[in-house]
Amino acid sequence: MALAAQQEKHMEFHSLEIEGMTFESSVVALGSSKVLVLGGAGDRGLEINSRFIKFTAIGIYVEDGIVPYLSPKLGGKSVEELCDKELLFEEVLSAPFEKLVRVVFLLPLTGPQYSEKVLERIGVQGIYKELKDEHKQQFLEIFKAENFPPRSSLVFSFTEEGLKIAFPKGNEIPEKPVAVVADKAFADAVLATIIWKDGVSPAAKVSLAERLSKYF
């Protein structure tokens, strides 16, 4: 009965605007025809000299099938429970569905600055300690020649095959990635820096919890 009720419940995931950047309600996944919906979005920033400086806006896309998959485990829990105990984000991280993150830059950043910060966050979290140095180096190389002026973006796709990366020239998600780090553990580690404990965008995490939990 619960599954039937879930299937009957119409799910709507509208677009969101973060700092003047629009995250569309759905996108086509990198390198496939699979449609992903906007689970949530928010800004990422740091407090510097008593001022909160926003560096990026982040949109998190998921397969809509993740909702009925997670409902038996998370149904009935409040947004506060899902966030404070990391219940939702741990489950999303391990769920066997494709996830995609679009990062839009609000301030200029170089590729090396961004990629080095990602690896630093992986180290700080300390969750994935067995990542291969070759995959870390490959990740750094992919970003080595990149520069991200304001309003430019990058896309991460998290799949069973690993981490797919693309650098869109406009708002459209490219059909194919520019590079793939073929290691699922590495892909999970990058996603964890965004959505799991001490993730870089608390606002995006709350948005994800609010929007998905409506349908649990």
Quote the percentage of the chain above a pLDDT of 90. 77
Distance between CA 114 and CA 111 in Å, rounded? 5
pLDDT of residue 9: 60
Stated pTM of the model: 0.92
What does each C-alpha distance from 203 to 18, 32, 42, 103, 206 come to in angstroms? 10, 29, 5, 14, 5
| Average pLDDT along the chain | 91
CATH 3.30.420.40 given to domain 16-214: no
Reduce the DSSP state of residue 163 to 3 states and report it. strand
For 98-137, write each residue's pLDDT tens digit.
999 999 999 999 999 999 999 999 999 888 989 999 999 9
Residue 25: CB atoms within 10 A of its CB come to: 13
Segments of 87-191 assigned E as strands: 99-105, 109-110, 147-148, 153-159, 162-166, 179-181
Extents of the domains making up the chain: 16-214
- When pLDDT is cut at 50, 70 and 90, the band that residue 11 belongs to is confident
